[in-house]
Amino acid sequence: MKKRIWIAFLCLIIFGTTFGLPQPSCADETTGGILLTCPSAILMEASTKSVIYEKAPDERRSPASITKIMTAILIFDAIEAGKISLEDEVVTSAYAKSMGGSQVYLEEGEKQTVDTLIKCIMVSSGNDASVAMAEYIAGSESGFVQMMNERAASLGMENTHFEDCCGLTDSDNHYTTARDIALMAQELITRYPQIKSYTTIWMDTVRNGEFGLSNTNKLVRFYDGTTGLKTGYTSGAGYCLSASAERGGMELIAVVMHCKTSPDRFESAKALLNYGFANYALVDPMENLTIEPVPVVLGRQELVQVQAQGAGTILIDKALAGSVTCAVELDESVTAPVLKGQQLGTLRVEAGGRLLREIALAAAQEVPALGFPDIWRMMLERVCMAG
């Protein structure tokens, strides 16, 4: 027999504001979509990986320096594993020095810390700094690239293959997609949020103030809530951008590929982010929700606490945010023994008559059954109390 507890909650949404560059219109009045000049794009919410918008998201294209997002992931993997530290000094090889394109002009034999090289990679898109770190971690760029491809596969990046660690190559075998870029961007900013201390730098210096760095991602200065992430450009890739921004507790990832001009990529990314922040919000079904413990029959504890399994936040259209309800169905009692994780009920999250998520409610701890000595003792205690 089940008991039903209906609990409704209103999700308060805080609308972000934008300032800086003029805001372009992102609504297509004929289709309700988003006006973009780029041929491939995606908009993802970071915590849930929910895709809000996509345009040819699985079309393979050259990512140029957006490649460095994976390079950063492997750097922080190595730091997390204790293989390297931010204070380690890295010696620049002749090969690393020889990189063209975006660089910080490292000299052969020059020593810089891992911390400084991360800054050079994520702020100024230094190809030389990327190769120096690749060689430091894997012994060679080719060995590092193998690690990049293995890591990409582990993230489910099904349409990605790397040939270098910085995106400078013109090889047709160096490719990815908007969807795959969003997946690796999500991994970087959620698993290693400390990356934002680098990706939000607008201007800085290295070499004791002798060399200036300026962020290639102009949204850092001009878009409210920007948290990163990485630009890219080659003649073959066009102008690319993976941009992340956070407002009101929600972080979005916008990816645009093969834009014709640099302003196009920033305007397209802003249009995506504006659309997401204006129309979507996160709700937490467990916020302000109290679930009573379930009575245990013949258990060594009278009650078992209940916990939701895999609840998390839910991305929802803002128009439905005020109609979100939670329906809790719990067993009236459970007979011992009770196993930890044993399902005791269900939480149904709905909005506008539509089921958003069904969450299992389970025992938070084990409750052993009473043994014969326990039952005999209880009977004696009751007899004594009655006498």
Q: What is the pLDDT of residues 122-156, one digit of tens each?
A: 999 999 999 999 999 999 999 999 999 999 999 99
Asked about 125 being catalytic, the answer comes back as: yes
Residue 71 has pLDDT above 70, yes or no: yes
Q: Report the b/e string of 152-162 with b at 16+ CB within 10 A.
A: beeeebebbbb
Q: Give pLDDT, residue 18.
A: 31
Query: Which among 65, 93, 130, 268 is annotated as catalytic?
Result: 65
Asked about 85 being catalytic, the answer comes back as: no
Biggest distance spanned by C-alpha atoms of the chain: 95
Query: Which among 40, 55, 62, 68 is annotated as catalytic?
Result: 68
pLDDT band for position 258 (cuts 50, 70, 90) = very high
Q: Give pLDDT, residue 320.
A: 87
Please state, in angstroms and rounded to a whole number, the distance separating the CA atoms of residues 142 and 162: 10
Cβ(123)–Cβ(213) below 8 Å = yes
In order of 5, 35, 176, 234, 265, the CA distances from 241 in angstroms are 47, 16, 13, 12, 6
> What's the predicted TM-score (pTM) here?
0.84
Highest mean pLDDT out of 12-16, 229-233, 350-354: 229-233
Query: Which among 124, 125, 242, 268 is annotated as catalytic?
Result: 125
Mean pLDDT score across all residues of the chain: 89
Asked about 68 being catalytic, the answer comes back as: yes
Q: Give pLDDT, residue 289.
A: 87
